[in-house]
Structure 1
Amino acid sequence: MSARTHARFFLPEAKQQQHNPVVQQMEALGITSFQTADSQASWAKLKSDSAEFDLVWSVADPPFAQLEIPHQFAAKVNHLPGAQLLTSPDALNQHLEAQKKKHGKFYFDFVPGHFELPQDRDRLTNAFTEVRKKAEFESKRMRDAHVYQRFLVRERAANNNEDQAKRSAMFVREEDLQFKLQSNEFAGKTVVVDQYVEPLLLDNHKFRVGFYVAVTSVKPLRIYVYGHPLIQIAKAEYPSKLVVESDPAAYNFDQYIAPWDFSDLQADFHELPSATRGGTNAWHVLKRHLRKKGVDTKRLQDEVDAVIAKVVLSSRGNFQGEQAKLKRAQAQTGDGSPSDLSDSFFDLWKFNFEFDDKAKPWLVGVVSNPSMEGQQSVLATDEAIKKRLLHDLLNLVGVHPQARLPFEKFFRPSDPKFCSDKCGDKSRAWDASCWSCPGWFSPQVARNLFTAMTEYARRGNFNLLFPSLEQEFSQFLDTEFSEYDIAFDRHIGVFSIKMVATSRVMPIAFLGLLQENLSLAVVEGVTYLSVFLLMLHVHSSGKRNATMLIAAMLQVMIVELLFYNTERWHGQALVMMVSEQLPLYNVLLQAQLYYIAFVATSRLRIDPFFQPFAMGSLMVLLVFPFELLGSKFLWWTWHDTDPLLADRLMGVPCHALFYYYSFSFGFLCAHHILRSVWLVGNYYEEEHWHLEWSYVLLMPVVGTLFAMGFLILGYHLTVHLIGIEAQVCFFLLIGFSLLLFWMADRERDLPDVQKALEPVDVYDSDWLYSCMDHAVNQMVFLHSFVLVLLVLFVDPMNIVSLGHHQPLGNCLENESFYSLVGLQHLRKKYLCVHNFDEPFNLCNYPVTQLLYEDSWYMICGGGYSNFASYVALVLGYSAVLNLLFYQMLKRPQRTRIVSFRKGILAN
Structure 2
Amino acid sequence: MNDFQSYICSAVEAKSNTCMTDLLHWLIAFTNPFQTWEDEPTFLFIQFSVIFGAILNYVHAWNRGGRFLHFWWATIVVSLVTEWMCYLLPSINNFWHSQGIVSLFGRRFPLYIVLVYNQFWYTAWVTALRANLKWWAEPFAVGLLVVILDLPYDIMGIKMLWWTWHDTDVNIYDRHYHVPWTSYYFHSAFVAALIIVFFGSRKILMPAKSKFEVGNCFTECLCTVLAGSLAMPVGVSAFFLIFYHPMHDWFDIHSEVPVIMWLSLCLLISWISDRTPTTRDRSDCSKEKLQSLPVFNVAQHFLLFFLLMFVAKPEEVKATGLHQPIGPCNATEDTFSVTGVTLKREKYLCTENYNEPMSFHCLPEGKPPPSVSSWYTICGLPFENAMEYKLIIWFCCAMGLTIYMQLLLFSGNEVKLPVSSPMTKVESGTKKQKKKRPAKVHRD
Could you say which TM-score interval applies, normalised by the shorter chain? 0.7 to 0.9
Aligned residue identity for 1:547: H
Q: Relative to structure 1, is the Cα distance of residues 809 and 900 closer, same or farther in structure 2, using a 3 angstrom cutoff? A: closer
Q: Relative to structure 1, is the Cα distance of residues 598 and 630 closer, same or farther in structure 2, using a 3 angstrom cutoff? A: same
Please give the alpha-carbon distance, in whole angstroms, between the structure 2 residues aligned to 1:728 and 1:585: 31
Counterpart of 2:224? 696
Among candidates 324, 330, 333, match of residue 806 of structure 1: 324
Among candidates 288, 297, 302, match of residue 784 of structure 1: 302
What aligned pairs does 1:673-822 form with structure 2 within 5 A after superposition? 673-679=200-206, 680-683=209-212, 685=214, 688-709=216-237, 710-749=239-278, 770-822=288-340
1:684–1:692: 8 Å Cα contact kept in structure 2?
no
Runs ≥4 residues deviating over 6 A:
none
Deviations, residues 681-728 of structure 1 (Å, cap 9, x unaligned): 444647x11001111211023322320121011110122223332112
Counterpart of 1:861? 380
**Deviation, structure 1 residue 535:** 2.3
Q: Relative to structure 1, is the Cα distance of residues 684 and 841 closer, same or farther in structure 2, using a 3 angstrom cutoff? A: same
Please give the alpha-carbon distance, in whole angstroms, between the structure 2 residues aligned to 1:789 and 1:800: 21
**Deviation, structure 1 residue 747:** 2.6
TM-score, with normalisation over the residues of structure 1?
A: 0.41
1:607–1:748: 8 Å Cα contact kept in structure 2?
no
Of 811-820 and 693-702, deviating more is: 693-702
Q: CA RMSD in A?
A: 3.0
Counterpart of 2:398? 879
Counterpart of 2:357? 839
Counterpart of 1:558? 81
**Deviation, structure 1 residue 847:** 8.0
Aligned residue identity for 1:857: Y
Please give the alpha-carbon distance, in whole angstroms, between the structure 2 residues aligned to 1:537 and 1:893: 17
2:33–2:44: 8 Å Cα contact kept in structure 1?
yes
**Deviation, structure 1 residue 672:** 2.7
Residue 596 (1) aligns with residue 123 (2): yes
Aligned residue identity for 2:386: F
Counterpart of 1:637? 164
**Deviation, structure 1 residue 893:** 6.5
Please give the alpha-carbon distance, in whole angstroms, between the structure 2 residues aligned to 1:595 and 1:519: 24
Residue 628 (1) aligns with residue 155 (2): yes
Residue 828 (1) aligns with residue 346 (2): yes
Q: Relative to structure 1, is the Cα distance of residues 576 and 630 closer, same or farther in structure 2, using a 3 angstrom cutoff? A: same
Counterpart of 1:652? 179
Aligned residue identity for 1:574: I
Counterpart of 1:222? none
Q: Relative to structure 1, is the Cα distance of residues 824 and 847 closer, same or farther in structure 2, using a 3 angstrom cutoff? A: farther
2:103–2:110: 8 Å Cα contact kept in structure 1?
yes
Counterpart of 2:35? 512
2:130–2:412: 8 Å Cα contact kept in structure 1?
no
Percent of aligned pairs with the same amino acid? 23
Please give the alpha-carbon distance, in whole angstroms, between the structure 2 residues aligned to 1:900 and 1:641: 52
SS in 1 for 2:343: strand
Counterpart of 2:143? 616
Structure 1 unaligned residues grouped into runs of 5+: 1-286, 298-357, 359-502, 755-759, 761-766
**Deviation, structure 1 residue 519:** 0.5
Counterpart of 2:20? none
Please give the alpha-carbon distance, in whole angstroms, between the structure 1 residues aligned to 2:132 and 2:102: 38
**Deviation, structure 1 residue 625:** 1.1
Q: Relative to structure 1, is the Cα distance of residues 674 and 567 closer, same or farther in structure 2, using a 3 angstrom cutoff? A: same
Higher Rg: 1
What aligned pairs does 1:571-586 form with structure 2 within 5 A after superposition? 571-586=98-113
Please give the alpha-carbon distance, in whole angstroms, between the structure 1 residues aligned to 2:410 and 2:168: 48
Counterpart of 2:54? 531
Please give the alpha-carbon distance, in whole angstroms, between the structure 2 residues aligned to 1:891 and 1:848: 56
What aligned pairs does 1:324-723 form with structure 2 within 5 A after superposition? 507-542=30-65, 544-563=67-86, 566-679=93-206, 680-683=209-212, 685=214, 688-709=216-237, 710-723=239-252
Please give the alpha-carbon distance, in whole angstroms, between the structure 2 residues aligned to 1:812 and 1:534: 48
SS in 2 for 1:858: strand
**Deviation, structure 1 residue 880:** 1.1
2:96–2:323: 8 Å Cα contact kept in structure 1?
yes
Aligned residue identity for 1:690: F
Please give the alpha-carbon distance, in whole angstroms, between the structure 2 residues aligned to 1:520 and 1:543: 35
**Deviation, structure 1 residue 841:** 0.9
Structure 2 unaligned residues grouped into runs of 5+: 8-12, 14-25, 420-425, 430-444
**Deviation, structure 1 residue 742:** 1.4
Counterpart of 1:890? 409
Aligned residue identity for 1:699: A
SS in 1 for 2:130: helix
Please give the alpha-carbon distance, in whole angstroms, between the structure 2 residues aligned to 1:728 and 1:807: 31
Please give the alpha-carbon distance, in whole angstroms, between the structure 1 residues aligned to 2:222 and 2:287: 32
Deviations, residues 391-427 of structure 1 (Å, cap 9, x unaligned): xxxxxxxxxxxxxxxxxxxxxxxxxxxxxxxxxxxxx
**Deviation, structure 1 residue 891:** 5.6
1:571–1:801: 8 Å Cα contact kept in structure 2?
yes
Q: How many correspondences in the alignment?
A: 393
Deviations, residues 514-534 of structure 1 (Å, cap 9, x unaligned): 001001111111222223322
1:569–1:636: 8 Å Cα contact kept in structure 2?
yes
SS in 2 for 1:859: strand
Please give the alpha-carbon distance, in whole angstroms, between the structure 1 residues aligned to 2:63 and 2:287: 12
Please give the alpha-carbon distance, in whole angstroms, between the structure 1 residues aligned to 2:210 and 2:140: 25
Q: Relative to structure 1, is the Cα distance of residues 860 and 666 closer, same or farther in structure 2, using a 3 angstrom cutoff? A: same
**Deviation, structure 1 residue 903:** 6.8
Counterpart of 2:18? none
Please give the alpha-carbon distance, in whole angstroms, between the structure 2 residues aligned to 1:589 and 1:571: 14
Please give the alpha-carbon distance, in whole angstroms, between the structure 1 residues aligned to 2:192 and 2:44: 31
1:670–1:702: 8 Å Cα contact kept in structure 2?
yes
1:608–1:672: 8 Å Cα contact kept in structure 2?
no
Deviations, residues 540-592 of structure 1 (Å, cap 9, x unaligned): 11152222111112212222222366211001110111221011111202221
**Deviation, structure 1 residue 621:** 1.4
2:182–2:259: 8 Å Cα contact kept in structure 1?
no
SS in 1 for 2:326: coil
Higher helix share: 2
What aligned pairs does 1:63-212 form with structure 2 within 5 A after superposition? none
Please give the alpha-carbon distance, in whole angstroms, between the structure 1 residues aligned to 2:98 and 2:403: 32
- The higher-RCO structure (CA 8 Å, 6+ apart) is 2
**Deviation, structure 1 residue 874:** 1.2
Please give the alpha-carbon distance, in whole angstroms, between the structure 1 residues aligned to 2:359 and 2:44: 21
Please give the alpha-carbon distance, in whole angstroms, between the structure 2 residues aligned to 1:800 and 1:892: 44
Of 740-749 and 647-656, deviating more is: 740-749
Q: Relative to structure 1, is the Cα distance of residues 859 and 613 closer, same or farther in structure 2, using a 3 angstrom cutoff? A: same
Aligned residue identity for 2:43: L
